[in-house]
Amino acid sequence: MSFYPEPTNIWESIEYSSLGTTIAESTWMFPTIETIHVIALVTVIGTIALVDLRLVGVKGHALRVSQLAKDTLPWTWGAFALAAITGLLLFVSKASSYMINPWFLAKLAMLALAGLNMMYFHMTTWRAVDHWELDPSFPTAAKIAGWLSLIFWLVVVFCGRMIGFTLGIFF
């Protein structure tokens, strides 16, 4: 027997699905998934920032930026996959509340911008990394990509934190 009203849109259909209601009704599932989401996101941001800071000119070690990226990327992608899965599960449990929350929508937009910035950088400047990584100063395009990445991820964290303060107050 269902305790939930008939869904009136796709987001309510997702929220009232058995997966959505199972997570929402449990006292421990949401916080547990959220904890894994935080650990995954922290890993994504920490490992990306190591490369970004290098791109914008923070020195202090002899490791080439391409080697640094090779060391960090498997962690970044693995953690990103985990963050995406857990983020989806959190979303399913309260889909209609998230979809009207401006901070959630802004977080998605920032994630898209961070992804586009990374894709563009990898398809352009990064292709010639062998030619510039030993130079005393990196190309302006690499510095800009590093700064943009740092800013986008910072805003992703801020928006994510703001969701916690505002979820359920928008109708």
Partner 1 sequence: MSHAGSSGGIASPGPVRSGGIDTGEESSLMGDLLFNFTEWLRNTPLNDVALAISESAPTLWIGEHFYAIPIFQVIHILAISASFAAVLMINARMLKLAGHSSLEDTTARYVRVLWWALLVLVLSGAAMIIGEPIRELINAVFWVKMILFVTAVLFTIWFHKGIAKRFTGSSEASGGAKLAGIVLVVLWCMIMTGGRWIAYNPG
Interface contacts to partner 1, rule CB under 8 A:
3-5, 23-28, 30-31, 34-35, 37-39, 41-43, 45-47, 49-50, 60-64, 67-68, 70-72, 74-75, 87, 90, 93-94, 97, 107, 154, 157-165, 167-168
Rank residues 75 and 120 by Cβ distance to partner 1 and give the closer one.
Answer: 75
Widest Cα–Cα separation across the chain: 68
In one-letter notation, the amino acid at residue 94 is K
Question: Could you give the CA distance from residue 54 to residue 50 in angstroms, rounded to a whole number?
Answer: 6
Helix 140-166, helix 102-123: angle, nearest 10: 160
Helix 65-93, helix 29-55: angle, nearest 10: 150
Smallest separation (angstroms) from partner 1 to the CB of 59: 11
Write down how long the chain is.
171
Rank residues 51 and 145 by Cβ distance to partner 1 and give the closer one.
Answer: 51
Rank residues 26 and 124 by Cβ distance to partner 1 and give the closer one.
Answer: 26
Question: Could you give the CA distance from residue 20 to residue 91 in angstroms, rounded to a whole number?
Answer: 8
Rank residues 57 and 74 by Cβ distance to partner 1 and give the closer one.
Answer: 74
Smallest separation (angstroms) from partner 1 to the CB of 123: 24
